[in-house]
Amino acid sequence: ISFCRGRINMDKELRQKLKDQALICGLWGSFIGSGVPILESLDALADEFRTYNPKFSHVKNSVATGRTIASALNDYDKNIKPTRFTPEFNPLIAVGEKTGSLDILFKRMERLYDLGAQNVFDGNQANLFNRYSLYSQLAYIIDSGLLLSEALDITFATTKVLPQNVLTELVANVSQNKTLEESMKIFSGYFSKTEVALIGAGESEEISALIGARKSEGALSRNLDRLADHYAKHLEYSNL
């Protein structure tokens, strides 16, 4: 009974955290889209979300001295109070800052956390959500212009889809110019045939475009988004 009660409390805490993050990302994205200056945005977030007031106040003061948002968030979590958001939050903020795409990032993160808050993560639902999170993040990071190996390193490390030793070897293979499809086939026990097929098709289209000196129109990231949508639908239907 105590284990069940603890699990219920854990689910409630996680769900509340995801609700908070969905609201924060939605509002933060609105600030960026509306051209609100970053310091004013952080001040407003501190005022709007009282639970996180100290955190956003610290980030605002740090950014005012020239630090990045991501480094200020990491500093607060490590040295002041470990009120961490879910694991992918800070790394994705760093990607958004590096690539100048925070507005796109916050839209994706709002959907990610909103979907998560509406589902209880046990058994199959946890796997579906992790897959959705993985492919949504990968699509965003690749679209932002980062190397595939770097994108894999960030996303697999925070989505708990692969054991660390498998992750390390997968990233190493891609870094050595193997395609992601080839690398996934090596670890076929961790990936479905659907995942391998769509990712392989996206990579093939991009390689063909490169050989033909034409634009690929983001074929790989598009198919990664299709996979993310596939798992999001699974999650929605699991609640019917």
Measured over the CA atoms of residue 113, residue 130, residue 226 and residue 232, the dihedral's sign is negative
Label residue 77 by pLDDT band (50, 70, 90).
very high
Which has more confidence, 164 or 141?
Answer: 141
- pLDDT value at 9 more than 70: no
Length of the chain: 240
**Contact in structure between 133 and 107 (CB atoms under 8 Å):** no
CA distances from 228 to 39, 139, 166 (A): 33, 9, 21
- pLDDT value at 10 more than 50: no
5-19, 58-72, 140-154, 171-185: which range is least confident on average? 5-19
- pLDDT value at 3 more than 50: no
Residues 6-21 have a mean pLDDT of 71
Local structure of 219: helix, strand or coil:
helix
**Contact in structure between 137 and 88 (CB atoms under 8 Å):** yes
Label residue 98 by pLDDT band (50, 70, 90).
very high
